[in-house]
Amino acid sequence: MFTRILIANRGEIACRVIKTARRMGIKTVAVFSDADRDALHVEMADEAVHIGPPAAAESYLVIDRIIAACKATGAQAVHPGYGFLSEREAFAQALKDNGITFIGPNPHAIAAMGDKIESKKAAAAAGVSTVPGYLGVIHDAQHAMKIAEEIGYPVMLKASAGGGGKGMRIAWSASEVQEGFDRSKSEAKSSFGDDRMFVEKFIVNPRHIEIQVLGDKHGNVISFGERECSVQRRNQKVIEEAPSPLLDEATRRLMGEQAVALAKAVHYDSAGTVEFVAGQDRSFFFLEMNTRLQVEHPVTEMITGVDLVEEMIRVAYGEKLRLSQADVTLNGWAVESRIYAEDPTRNFLPSTGRLVTYRPPVEGPDGAAIVRNDTGVFEGGEISIYYDPMIAKLVTWAPTRLEAIEAQARALDAFAIDGIRHNIPFLATMMGQKRWRSGQLSTGYIAEEFPNGFALVAPVGPAAQRMAAVAFAIDHVQNLRKRAISDQMEGWRAVSFEADRVVTLGARRFEGHVSGASDTITITFGDGMVMQVSSGWRPGRPVWHGLVDAVPVAMQVRVVRNGVTLAHAGTHAEARVYTRREAELAAMMPEKAVADTSKALLCPMPGLVKAIVVTVGQEVKAGEMLCIVEAMKMENVLRAERDVTVSELNAKEGDSLAVDAVIMEFA
């Protein structure tokens, strides 16, 4: 077996590979850019080599620097992770030419499957169902519009070398083809160094289902069942699960057989994924093959018990597959949520900055379920503008789908992140949605369920009273702590902390009498209801764990003036805790007016101004483009929300802007 391997990647996937290599007794080498000098994968590896500036094009994408790092450290093989060079034929060939093993498929397979145009031709030749489309390279928007008219709308514009949702647009009209083609082509060029585009028919109300395959260098290929990745936004997966709630055993077997046939046709010899677009009637068509380890591979590992990274390393070394198709069994259900540094209340725009708080849930057993958290960050670390905004992948396994979803909901409630915006509130909301829980999915799920975007909601009904009870309990614990402070000044009578308190949750008001020790507290509400709260929570902890009327509850806690901000099950509220007299006075306090920003265009995320397409004095109609801001490899088009006249430009192309920086002003 290899004694030393290099991981040509960063973040959570680099950490993931290091864990398996360490268990196998293999030394690891990390590579890092200037921006990742203090990253977790650098800390975890046995050695680390600096490979250049922050921009991926000058560091992680430079083949010669990766090879030089291998030679300098004596690394015998390279695991590419996903993204970056993982599907670059030239990289696999360069390693081979230098006597270094690529822990991935052979260059021929990458060339055949990594190119989305050629892969569709190969799939058709192998007897795999394919989506109608134009498989030639499309050079300009006019050509794309002509092809789209022939295929029929809607169509999908896709970069041939694309992945991760980059270089992809759905177009419903000729004007959307013209604009989307240019944006996709530009994204593909900056992300992959390859701007070739193609067009295919977009299946309405589709589901995204993929088959995990594994091949060795002796001609053996097997499949590991399917994953469903239909919950997406901007063509990027958000929640994945295995198996799929759509498929029956016959369809699963047929998809697996087609995936294996395609892999064998190109002599595939590593872990890979054959992706299909499926109709609600279980019809399916080949979409593409990813010649690498997928981001969502943990859900397959959880239901099969197979470490896919270990198998990749073993087959790269030349070993035969240790499993036959008959050995692969699917056990239980797994759900994965991608924790992103993005603001779901602002159309999921990226967020960058320092992780002031990062406290994931405890990994391991949770009743009948199992919790796993794959991450590449740590508390105090920084989310950079240069790379993908993923913070972690939270995975839960359980015997049934609903149990796995419930475990995921509990784990999300126990996941505390502060310092940047993140999508945990959105994910927690998803876990409670009836449509998601029933498995009625499609790739348009998020757009259909959140047509006006996502907004934080306050708890209602019993959930609000439960949150108020936790606020009462937290305040009581803090008061007990204050009473224990030594050397307090003695007055002519003892200082009395009132047991009668008032909690306000937005417009709702709860009166209650609090009694008991810090670990077990009784709240008697003004309406006569009595609730028992038990917890070992202490001030300073970002997550409150406990029982409310014997029901396990976890809530994220942030201290604010006169109370706490609590988040639970996708709901969010500022709980202000007062004495009754304080509550009377607080009710009379004037509310601060929100600043009027209607006459300015604010930068919605930290990013780079790629283009300003208007001039001072120009009249712009609602919906027209104003500028393009690039953040984390994605180009975001900012449009006018109403008819305006541009009065001043406060930024120019090439400027790096902070969130809420004024880009332009309107008359």
Which helix (H) or strand (E) segment holds residue 548: the answer is: strand 543-548
Q: Is the bond preceding 399 in cis, omega lying within 30 degrees of 0? A: no
Q: Tokens for 9? A: 């990647």
Catalytic residue among 288, 296, 403, 635: 288
Phi then psi dihedrals of residue 40, to 5 deg: -65, -40
Work out whether strand 133-138 and strand 166-171 pair parallel, antiparallel, or are unpaired. unpaired
Interhelix angle 89-97/63-73, rounded to 10 degrees, is 30
d(CA 69, CA 65): 6
* Selection from 164, 141, 189, 172 nearest residue 86 by Cα: 164
Q: Which residues pair with 199 in a beta bridge?
A: 134, 157
Distance in angstroms (rounded) separating the CA atoms of residues 282 and 301: 24
For the chain, give percent helix, strand, coil, nearest 5: 30, 35, 35
Cα 431 to Cα 410: distance, rounded to the nearest angstrom:
10
What would the two tokens of residue 148 be? 């789209």
* Token code pair at residue 307: 């470490």
CA of 2: how far to CAs of 98, 99, 402, in Å?
16, 13, 41
Nearest to residue 509, comparing CAs of 575, 458, 462, 555?
Answer: 575
Compute the distance between CA of residue 568 and CA of residue 565 in angstroms, rounded to an integer.
Answer: 10
- Helical pair 297-304 and 308-317, crossing angle rounded to 10 deg: 90
CA gap 528, 350 in Å, rounded: 46
| Residue whose C-alpha is closest to residue 258's, from 120, 122, 123 | 123
Closest CA to 271 of 252, 246, 248, 298: 298
Residue 256 and residue 259: Cα distance in Å, rounded?
5
288 is catalytic: yes
CA-based Rg of the chain, rounded to a whole angstrom?
Answer: 27
Burial of 461 (0-12, 13-18, 19+ CB in 10 A): exposed
The number of residues in the chain equals 667
SS3 assignment for 141-152: HHHHHHHHHHHC
CB atoms near residue 160 (< 10 Å)? 22
Helix (H) or strand (E) holding 522: strand 520-525
DSSP string across 239-279: EEEES-SS--HHHHHHHHHHHHHHHHHTT--SEEEEEEEE-
Task: Report the distance separating Cα 209 and Cα 279, nearest Å.
Answer: 10
**Concatenated DSSP letters for 545-585?**
EEEETTEEEEEEEEEETTEEEEEETTEEEEEEEEEHHHHHH
Check if the beta carbon of residue 447 is closer than 8 Å to that of residue 424.
no
Active site residues: 288
